Amino acid sequence: MASHFIVECLDCGHKGSFYPAAPNCPRCGGTWQEARYDYSSLAHSLPIQLPGRPFDIWRYHELLPVRSPNADLSLGEGGTPLIRATNLGLMLGCPNIFIKDERQGPTASFKDRQAAVAIAALKEAGITEVVVASTGNVAIAYSAYAARAGIKLWAFLTSLVPAAKMREVAIYGTQVIKVTGSYDQAKKVAAEFARQHGIYLDGGARSILCVEGMKTIAFEVSEQLTALLGPPSTNTETLDNQWRVPDWYFQSVSGGLGPLGVIKGFNELKVMGLTDHIPQMAIIQTEGCSPMVHAWKQGQETAIPIQSPSTLIATLATGDPGRTYTLLRQYMNQGSGGEFESVTDEEAFRSMHHLAKMEGLSIEPAAAVAFAGLVKLVRAGRIKPSDVVVMNCTGHTMPIERNILGEGWSRNLVLPSQSMEESSEEGLLAALSKIGIDRFPCIEIVDDNADARRLIHRILQSQGNFKVFEASDGREAVELAKKEHPNLIILDLMMPGLDGFGVMDALKVQQDTADIPIIVVTAKELTQAEKERLKGHIQSLMQKSDFSSDDLADEVHALLG
């Protein structure tokens, strides 16, 4: 049966058929090849057929290296939601940030796409045993699909992978080999094992199957953005029925396979005339393991491997990105443009908290690296407020939590043993009171603008445990302060009726409100006389235009001790 695609060698340009068991170029032996499909005919047929298909990765099956998708192997991969990050967007001043929520895939990471396509194609080719090296998520995704397909999996994991993650790999029946050493060492051992025993080795970024699985993110994102925001506005009639492309696509990377696939996906949409450009890529690494970022910033074509990655985020600890970096750099320089950036583990952990507290998304530290990168690039002015940004977001909140949550994140509720129902309720209330639910500092936010109040509320919510009250005008602010006795007031100056100065004066004349610390947050350019008026009565003055959430949080924490 003739295949619906061919493979082309990136080194010698040889074109031929695809045989999973013989992945190297038959002419030059090269290990880097790409799949090419019949784009001109798909450009016509696909837009007509897509609307009637289920929203999963197999809706694009003509663009995937599997001859006949087998529904029995499917776990519902792909078709994850694209969620607007309203509160994060508010905080960063970028209203069009969207999260591709890959947590909602079968094993909660975007590696499900790669595993689903790879295992389906390998099953089709009659392959019964597979070796994979992984920093965790790939092994979990492959394990699930291999179990379903009845393929025996050998997973080589670096000993840095948390034990809970290793156990999750093992529960699917995968043989786990724990390699005491770096991920790069684990990869070498896995390759040698596969060679010695003649077992299929998953090629990662070199594997056509993996890259092809990943590219489905680009297809889905474009379809979803078009549905959410409408087709792009264009001046030419020929661009009717165009799909929308984000201005930026963000992803944290270890080896770089993800963005390699995503770029290919966007390229294919462009080749088919469904889009007219591809997004800028923001590739974010953790500082303790950022060979790509170093090479990019120094304009180097190849990345120098890092021997001993120094990061708590084991999932991202690929020290040697090899040719993947060179290819990404080449694609970005030639087409998409973009940025490689690094962030610290601490910045990533902070973003993890932000996402959970502001958007209700508990994500894994590796995914949080991308969000920390977003904060950094927005603050550097690299991302424009009007830009449409898509964030790749993966789940698996793993035991690394212990490192980031510190002590005291949980409170023990010990119930006394009582036989009488009534007294047991009393006991419960007594026990509850001991865990101090009411002991959070109380903060009053005063601003006539609802969005401004919401933003400050979200910042406080993301930065600590506070009880927050809001007042929308001066009179309400004074009443609320008398009633609730807040530990701190965050006050806007320009309000209709009683303005911020009036509120300040009213609080100062009342004995029980006179000593409440005040942070003024204002858009107003203050005159010298106004500054004099505030002097000695407020603790801090912040301009709305240029304070960061961290600045505000620092002030709040300092004032509350």
Q: Can you say whether the dihedral through the CA atoms of 201, 202, 204, 208 is positive or negative? A: positive
Which is closer to Zn ion, CB of 14 or CB of 475? 14
Nearest approach in angstroms of CB 548 to Zn ion is 51
Nearest approach in angstroms of CB 322 to Zn ion is 17
CB atoms within 10 A of CB 150: 10
Nearest approach in angstroms of CB 552 to Zn ion is 57
Taking the C-alpha atoms of residue 435 and residue 464, their distance in angstroms, rounded to an integer, is 17
Comparing CA positions, the residue from 324, 286, 276 lying closest to residue 303 is 324
Look-up: residue for tokens 């601490």? 346
Nearest approach in angstroms of CB 281 to Zn ion is 26
Residues found near Zn ion in the complex (CB under 5 A) = 9, 11-12, 14, 25, 27-28, 30
In the structure encoding, which two tokens stand for residue 40, read together? 């001109």
Quick check: 107 and 364 in contact, CB under 8 A? no
Which is closer to Zn ion, CB of 23 or CB of 30? 30
Taking the C-alpha atoms of residue 92 and residue 382, their distance in angstroms, rounded to an integer, is 12
In the structure encoding, which two tokens stand for residue 394, read together? 């993966």
Which residues fall within 8 angstroms of residue 383, CB to CB, at 6 or more apart?
Answer: 94, 248, 374, 377, 389
C-alpha dihedral (278, 279, 280, 286), degrees to nearest 10: -120
Which is closer to Zn ion, CB of 207 or CB of 216? 207
CB atoms within 10 A of CB 78: 25
Nearest approach in angstroms of CB 26 to Zn ion is 8
Which is closer to Zn ion, CB of 27 or CB of 53? 27
- Does an H or E element contain 535, and which? none
Quick check: 87 and 359 in contact, CB under 8 A? yes
Comparing CA positions, the residue from 430, 400, 435 lying closest to residue 418 is 430
Nearest approach in angstroms of CB 201 to Zn ion is 19
Which is closer to Zn ion, CB of 330 or CB of 433? 330
Nearest approach in angstroms of CB 175 to Zn ion is 33
Which is closer to Zn ion, CB of 10 or CB of 191? 10
Which is closer to Zn ion, CB of 30 or CB of 305? 30
Environment class of 546 (CB within 10 Å of its CB; exposed 0-12, middle 13-18, buried 19+):
exposed
Tell me how many degrees the CA angle 42-33-192 measures, rounded to the nearest 5: 140
Which is closer to Zn ion, CB of 27 or CB of 167? 27
Which is closer to Zn ion, CB of 11 or CB of 346? 11
Which is closer to Zn ion, CB of 12 or CB of 171? 12
Nearest approach in angstroms of CB 39 to Zn ion is 22
Which is closer to Zn ion, CB of 11 or CB of 425? 11
Nearest approach in angstroms of CB 330 to Zn ion is 17
Distances (CA, A) of 344 to 88, 99, 313, 395, 478: 19, 21, 10, 19, 42
Nearest approach in angstroms of CB 328 to Zn ion is 21
Taking the C-alpha atoms of residue 341 and residue 321, their distance in angstroms, rounded to an integer, is 15
Comparing CA positions, the residue from 148, 143, 125, 147 lying closest to residue 68 is 125
Which is closer to Zn ion, CB of 12 or CB of 164? 12
Look-up: residue for tokens 């694009």? 60
Nearest approach in angstroms of CB 10 to Zn ion is 8
Quick check: 281 and 259 in contact, CB under 8 A? yes
Q: Can you say whether the dihedral through the CA atoms of 294, 296, 297, 299 is positive or negative? A: positive
Distances (CA, A) of 547 to 327, 455, 465: 39, 12, 21
Nearest approach in angstroms of CB 326 to Zn ion is 17
